[in-house]
Amino acid sequence: MNQVFRCAVLSVAKHDYVARGVITHPRFELAVVADDADVPEWMHERNQQFADAQQIPYVRDIERALRDFNVQVAIVSSEAERHCDLSIRAALARKHVIQDKPMSTCLSECDRLVATIQQADVRFLMWNRNGLPSIQQAQRQIAAGTIGQPLSIHVDFYFAKDAGPPKGSRQPGYPPMDWYAHQIASHVDGSDGGLGRTPMGELAVEGIYPLGYIQMLTGARVRQVFARSTAHFHQVHADNGVEDLASVTLTMEDGLIATMAIGRIGLASHPSGGEIKLHIIGTAGALVMNEARPDVGVYYRNQSSKEARQRRVASENDFLLADNFAHAIDTGGPTLMDAQTSRAIYATFAAALESARTGQVVDVD
């Protein structure tokens, strides 16, 4: 019987899907929820609710939770600004770390986390979507050499969701929408992926997914970035100077070309959550993959416009990520998205934002 890893959940201020995803695997169990005592009361409420639902304690002291509950793993899903800090504190306590995206809101924090993970010799996994059936299928095809050497890869990553009122809806004289307050209020429908005081556009909030696909499928490093971005759909993005639509061209190692179209493009733009596709051209063939397959069409009278008509099925993404993490702990091996890779992805979308601002091609650190 393999060891079961006990997990401390360090905040579910943003989402609880990471913690729920991890325990789809029988080798993980939740032991405690914890947060710092001085976080706002609404965070304590969310943490407490989740702890109650899981029938585990909630403690307002992170170091105590890491010390006193015999945990081997920390799961971090706070607001973005605290992601790295919580992960670093867990790593310093010699806990393996699973973290929600984005990695951080500044590159120096990413560097600090990478160094700490290395020094503490613990495993790190950034939660991602690389285990989705279609992505796994693409990886198998490429690994088998079916399309030869990849020449270019293009990812569309559109979330057909709204984020508050549409752009242009603010009346003259009204103040700009407050990012933090909007994110807190958006928790009810799960559209608070950009939770934090620092406004974040779609490149920061969701860019990890398409960039994660590109990284996993090619294994190549990004060298340079050219990007365009705009706040095209939502007032909250326009008011806070962040993008809800972006296009990115990447030049990579070995001359590989990659592109990405990403946006939170509004509920009306797709009947089932958004068009997410991969186009890959190789020296001996090409692939066109729909990330949402397999799915089942479900339609009925009075159906809510928020309900996807095509529902994804047979995804083992959560299990596969957790399984990979358990294996990494057992063997000391790599995870599907380790700290260095996560940092490289952060540096890529940071470069994309700079390119969009300056109009220039930007080197990736």
Partner 1 sequence: MIRLVVCGLDESRIDEIARRIRGASVTRLPDLPAGEVAGVECDAVACFGTVPPDVRFIANTIQAGRHMFIATDVLPSLADLKSLIEQANSRGVHIQIENSDHGLPSRRLIFNELRGSKLGQFGLIRSHRWESTPGLRTVDSFHLPAPLVRDLELMLWLTDQTPTVVFAVERSAQQGDTRGTIHVHLGFAGGGMALMDYADCLLPGDGYQSLSTICANGAMYVDDHANRQLAYLGGIAQATSTDEGLLPFVTLIQQFVTGLGAHSPMESGLARWEQTCALAATVRQSLDRRSPVAFDSQVHSPDQALQGSV
Q: What is the DSSP letter of 192?
A: -
Q: Which one of 108-116, 206-214, 285-293, 322-330 is the stretch in contact with partner 1 (CB under 8 A)?
A: 285-293
How many CA atoms lie within 13 Å of 29's alpha carbon, on the beta-carbon side?
Answer: 9
290 binds partner 1 (CB under 8 A): yes
In the complex, the smallest distance separating the C-beta of residue 251 from partner 1, rounded to whole angstroms, is 6
Q: How many residues bind partner 1 (CB under 8 A)?
A: 43
CA distance 104 to 238: 22
Considering just the CA atoms, what is the radius of gyration of the chain in Å? 20
Nearest to residue 121, comparing CAs of 329, 358, 353, 354?
A: 329
Applying CB under 8 A, among 6, 167, 221, 309 the residue interacting with partner 1 is 167
CA 30 to chain centre: 21
257 binds partner 1 (CB under 8 A): yes
In the complex, the smallest distance separating the C-beta of residue 143 from partner 1, rounded to whole angstroms, is 18
Task: Give 49 or 272: the residue with its C-beta nearer to partner 1.
Answer: 272
296 binds partner 1 (CB under 8 A): no
28 binds partner 1 (CB under 8 A): no
Cβ(97)–Cβ(91) under 8 Å? Answer: yes
Q: Which two tokens stand for residue 135?
A: 């992505």
Task: Give 92 or 286: the residue with its C-beta nearer to partner 1.
Answer: 286
312 binds partner 1 (CB under 8 A): no
x/- binding map, residues 178-217, to partner 1, per CB under 8 A? ----------------------------------------
At 280, the amino acid letter reads I
220 binds partner 1 (CB under 8 A): no
Q: Per CB under 8 A, which of residues 332..361 are in contact with partner 1? A: 359-361
CA 87 to chain centre: 15
Cβ(200)–Cβ(346) under 8 Å? Answer: no
146 binds partner 1 (CB under 8 A): no
139 binds partner 1 (CB under 8 A): no
CA distance 106 to 190: 24
Nearest to residue 335, comparing CAs of 131, 113, 143, 83?
A: 131
Q: Nearest 5 degrees, angle CA 298-CA 299-CA 304? A: 105
Q: Which one of 62-70, 183-191, 229-237, 300-308 is the stretch in contact with partner 1 (CB under 8 A)?
A: 229-237
263 binds partner 1 (CB under 8 A): yes
Cβ(324)–Cβ(125) under 8 Å? Answer: yes
Question: Which positions lie near partner 1, rule CB under 8 A?
Answer: 151-152, 154, 156, 158, 160, 166-167, 226, 228-233, 245, 247, 249, 251, 255-257, 259, 261, 263, 265-266, 268-270, 275, 277, 279, 281, 283-286, 288, 290, 359-361
